[in-house]
Amino acid sequence: MYKQIDSNKRNSVILVILFFIILGGLGYAFDLFYGSGQGYFPYVGVIVAVVFSLIMTSVSYYSGDKIALSASGAKQIKHSDNPYLYRMVENLAITAGIKTPKVYIIEDSSINAFATGRKPELSSIAVTTGAIQKLENEELEGVIAHEMSHVKNYDIRFMMLVAVLVGSIAILSDIFLRMSFFGKKGSNKKGSHPAIIIVGIVFIILSPIIANLVKLAISRKREYLADASGSLLTRYPEGLARALEKIGKENQPMKKKSKATAHLFISNPFQGKKVRHIFSTHPPIADRVKKLREM
């Protein structure tokens, strides 16, 4: 388990470093096309783009949990509303050493759950009625432990950092592309070959797509990390493995779902709709089950 956790943390950091390489490549590609010594406007444009991206992401960061809970139709409960679920969340929070998250129930027959909140003190865990009704005690415990691990690992905060980088790359690419096509072309004092300049423009066009693919890869790594961390909480990987098998076998999409919040759930809420692995927010269930049973 510890080996799996270390591996996923390391891979996530490597993927974030890739974002900074892409950002640096964007600047270099723009310089090749536009040329240096053209005044300060390009630098002002970069600053404005980054600041705009940070502001937009900050708004999502501070209100994203409320948006996600509202979009899924989650209703907050007290201990008396569902003692079984509430006690399970409470016990796992004690085991994890964090404050008990707010507990929500989603009226949906599919088996799913998600956690949100930028830090453990402000976290929430939402579980579908389908998960409560269809999963055995150890299976539901495994699902909640997985979500508890997202909270403890600060995955929401981590993914917001990734969103900042993706947003910055998308906005910078758009600005650079517009300036490249509609602005005055630089004098090319460095003597760059036209073919290199073309490669630079192609990179500017493709960089947002590459950034989104890296974001999806990070999302999948955080799912593997939560699987391993959750198993460390329960000391019973088989519980989560069985729950995931039931989710995969049922293959039932949720009624209320959004692409903006899909990465939060333990399983893709768009079940039934076949999505290629490279474009998915979640690893294949069979791979997750295999890794859990190897722990």
Six-digit token string for 13: 């950091």
Q: What is the pLDDT of residues 235-286, one digit of tens each?
A: 999 999 999 999 999 988 898 887 767 778 999 888 765 555 667 778 999 9
150's enclosing H/E stretch is helix 137-152
147 closest CA partner among 108, 117, 110: 117
Q: Are the CB atoms for 268 and 133 separated by under 8 Å?
A: no
Confidence of residue 67 (pLDDT cuts 50, 70, 90): confident
Q: Catalytic annotation on 147?
A: yes
Task: Give the global pTM.
Answer: 0.78
Q: How far apart are CA 72 and CA 272, in angstroms?
A: 18
The confidence score (pLDDT) of residue 37 equals 45
Domain ranges of the chain: 2-293
Q: How far apart are CA 52 and CA 19, in angstroms?
A: 18
The confidence score (pLDDT) of residue 66 equals 86
- Chain center to CA of 34: 34
Catalytic residue (choose from 138, 139, 141, 147): 147
Whether pLDDT at 185 is above 80: no
Q: Are the CB atoms for 49 and 168 separated by under 8 Å?
A: yes
Where is mean pLDDT largest: 3-12, 117-126, 202-211?
117-126
The confidence score (pLDDT) of residue 243 equals 97
Q: What is the pLDDT of residues 81-91, one digit of tens each?
A: 999 999 999 99
Least confident of 106-115, 198-207, 248-257: 198-207
- Dump the DSSP string for 247-294: HHHH----SS--TTTGGGBSS-TTTTS---GGG-SS--HHHHHHHHHT
Bigger pLDDT: 125 or 295? Answer: 125
Least confident of 52-61, 130-139, 147-156, 158-167: 52-61
Q: How far apart are CA 51 and CA 43, in angstroms?
A: 12
Q: What is the pLDDT of residues 20-60, one digit of tens each?
A: 777 777 767 666 666 544 544 445 555 655 666 667 666 76
- Contacts for 37-42 with beta carbons within 8 Å, 24 or more apart? 37/187, 37/189, 38/184, 38/186, 42/179
